[in-house]
Structure 1
C-alpha cells in the first residue's frame, strides 16, 4: 500500500470514528429520557441566553455546562450498558456502580442549575 493509500485509509478511520460517536449520541437521545430532558433544558438555556443577552464569558460558561452535562450523561449511559452486559443479576457492586454514576450526573446537574439561574438572574 502506497503512502497516499495509507493516508486515505487513515482519513476513512477518522471519519468512521466520528460516525460511531454521532451514532452513540443519536441512540442515547432516542432511548434515554434523562438525556432528552438535558437536551431540552439546554435548548431552553440557549434561548434564555439570547433573551437576556449573555456576555461572551457567560456563553462560554453555559456551553461548558451544557457540554459537560451531555458528556456526563453519555458516560453514565455507557456505564449502565456495560454493567448490564456483565450481569443481569442484582449484585450490590453493580448497583453501587450505577448509583455512583447517576450520582455524578445529579451533582453536575444541580451545579448547572444553580449557575444557570445565577446567570439569568444576573442579566434581568
Structure 2
C-alpha cells in the first residue's frame, strides 16, 4: 500500500477517534444523538418521503457536526487560557450559538414533518 493510501486510512482513523471522543465526552452530543435516533425512528414509522428524509438527514448532520466543532473550540479555548477572558467567553458563546441555531432549525424541520402526521394519527 502506498503512502497516499496509508495517510487517507489514518485520517479516517483519526476522524473515528474524534467521533468516539465526541460521544464519549460530550453529554450534549449524546442528547443530540438520542434525538437523531428518535427522528430516524419516527421517519421509519411514518414512512416519510425522500424530500423529508433529505431535510431530516441534513439537519441531523448539521447539528452533530456543529456540536463537534463547538466541543473542539471549547477544548482548545480551555487549553489556551485557564483564566476568565471576555475574548474566550465570546468565542465559546458564539460556538454554542451555532449549535443552538442548528438545533432550532432541526426542531422546526421535525415539527413541520412529524407534527401533522402525529395529529392525523390521533384524529378519528
Q: TM-score when scaled to structure 1? A: 0.91
How many residue pairs are counted as aligned between the two chains? Answer: 118
Question: Counterpart of 1:54?
Answer: 48
**In the TM superposition, what whole-angstrom CA distance separates every residue of 1:2-50 from its partner, at most 9, and x where no partner exists?**
xxx6xx1110000000000010010110010000000000000000001
Aligned with residue 32 of structure 1, among 7, 21, 26: 26
Moved over 4 A (4+): none
Q: Does 1:67 align with 2:61?
A: yes
How far apart in 1 are the matches of 2:38 and 2:69?
A: 23
Query: Where in structure 2 are there 5+ consecutive unaligned residues?
Result: none
Aligned with residue 108 of structure 1, among 81, 102, 106: 102
Query: Where in structure 1 are there 5+ consecutive unaligned residues?
Result: none
Question: Counterpart of 1:98?
Answer: 92
Alpha-carbon offset, residue 122 of structure 1: 3.4
Aligned with residue 71 of structure 2, among 59, 71, 77: 77
Aligned with residue 38 of structure 2, among 41, 44, 53: 44
